[in-house]
Amino acid sequence: MGNCGRETELALEERLIRRMHLLVDLTTAIIAQDPALTLDEAWQHVLALKRAVLAMFPDKEAVFDLIYIPRFSRLLAERFGAN
Protein backbone atom coordinates (compact mmCIF):
# COMPACT_ATOMS: atom_id res chain seq x y z
CA MET A 1 0.00 0.00 0.00
CA GLY A 2 2.83 2.42 0.77
CA ASN A 3 4.11 2.05 -2.78
CA CYS A 4 0.71 3.02 -4.20
CA GLY A 5 0.86 6.38 -2.41
CA ARG A 6 4.33 7.03 -3.84
CA GLU A 7 3.09 6.23 -7.35
CA THR A 8 0.23 8.68 -6.85
CA GLU A 9 2.73 11.33 -5.71
CA LEU A 10 4.87 10.72 -8.77
CA ALA A 11 1.85 10.89 -11.07
CA LEU A 12 0.83 14.21 -9.52
CA GLU A 13 4.34 15.60 -9.85
CA GLU A 14 4.54 14.48 -13.49
CA ARG A 15 1.19 16.14 -14.19
CA LEU A 16 2.37 19.38 -12.56
CA ILE A 17 5.60 19.29 -14.57
CA ARG A 18 3.64 18.82 -17.81
CA ARG A 19 1.37 21.72 -16.84
CA MET A 20 4.38 23.90 -16.08
CA HIS A 21 5.96 23.07 -19.47
CA LEU A 22 2.67 23.92 -21.19
CA LEU A 23 2.53 27.28 -19.39
CA VAL A 24 6.15 28.02 -20.29
CA ASP A 25 5.47 27.15 -23.94
CA LEU A 26 2.31 29.28 -24.01
CA THR A 27 4.09 32.24 -22.44
CA THR A 28 6.94 31.89 -24.92
CA ALA A 29 4.49 31.76 -27.84
CA ILE A 30 2.57 34.82 -26.64
CA ILE A 31 5.77 36.84 -26.27
CA ALA A 32 7.16 35.70 -29.62
CA GLN A 33 3.96 36.01 -31.66
CA ASP A 34 1.78 38.84 -30.31
CA PRO A 35 2.76 41.90 -32.40
CA ALA A 36 0.85 44.30 -30.11
CA LEU A 37 2.62 43.16 -26.94
CA THR A 38 4.79 45.74 -25.18
CA LEU A 39 7.95 44.94 -23.25
CA ASP A 40 6.18 45.73 -19.97
CA GLU A 41 3.26 43.45 -20.87
CA ALA A 42 5.70 40.70 -21.81
CA TRP A 43 7.38 40.94 -18.40
CA GLN A 44 3.94 40.82 -16.78
CA HIS A 45 3.35 37.51 -18.58
CA VAL A 46 6.68 36.19 -17.28
CA LEU A 47 5.83 37.26 -13.73
CA ALA A 48 2.38 35.67 -14.00
CA LEU A 49 4.07 32.47 -15.19
CA LYS A 50 6.42 32.60 -12.21
CA ARG A 51 3.49 32.99 -9.80
CA ALA A 52 1.73 30.02 -11.40
CA VAL A 53 4.83 27.85 -11.26
CA LEU A 54 5.48 28.78 -7.63
CA ALA A 55 1.88 27.90 -6.77
CA MET A 56 2.61 24.40 -8.11
CA PHE A 57 6.17 24.18 -6.75
CA PRO A 58 6.41 26.62 -3.79
CA ASP A 59 10.01 25.81 -2.88
CA LYS A 60 11.46 26.17 -6.39
CA GLU A 61 11.78 29.94 -6.84
CA ALA A 62 15.58 29.78 -7.07
CA VAL A 63 15.32 27.06 -9.73
CA PHE A 64 12.81 29.13 -11.72
CA ASP A 65 15.07 32.19 -11.49
CA LEU A 66 18.10 30.15 -12.56
CA ILE A 67 16.47 28.41 -15.52
CA TYR A 68 13.57 30.48 -16.82
CA ILE A 69 14.44 34.13 -16.08
CA PRO A 70 17.57 34.00 -18.29
CA ARG A 71 15.59 32.19 -20.99
CA PHE A 72 12.86 34.83 -21.01
CA SER A 73 15.39 37.65 -20.71
CA ARG A 74 17.05 36.40 -23.92
CA LEU A 75 13.67 36.07 -25.64
CA LEU A 76 12.67 39.60 -24.62
CA ALA A 77 16.04 41.02 -25.66
CA GLU A 78 15.66 39.33 -29.04
CA ARG A 79 12.06 40.44 -29.47
CA PHE A 80 12.37 44.02 -28.21
CA GLY A 81 16.06 44.73 -28.64
CA ALA A 82 16.33 45.39 -24.91
CA ASN A 83 18.44 43.96 -22.10
Determine the Cα–Cα distance for residues 49 and 64; give it in Å rounded to an integer.
10
pLDDT average, residue stretch 63-83: 93
pTM for the whole structure: 0.86
Determine the Cα–Cα distance for residues 83 and 49; give it in Å rounded to an integer.
20
pLDDT at 53: 98
Q: For residue range 8-45, list pLDDT tens digits in order.
A: 999 999 999 999 999 999 999 999 999 999 999 999 99
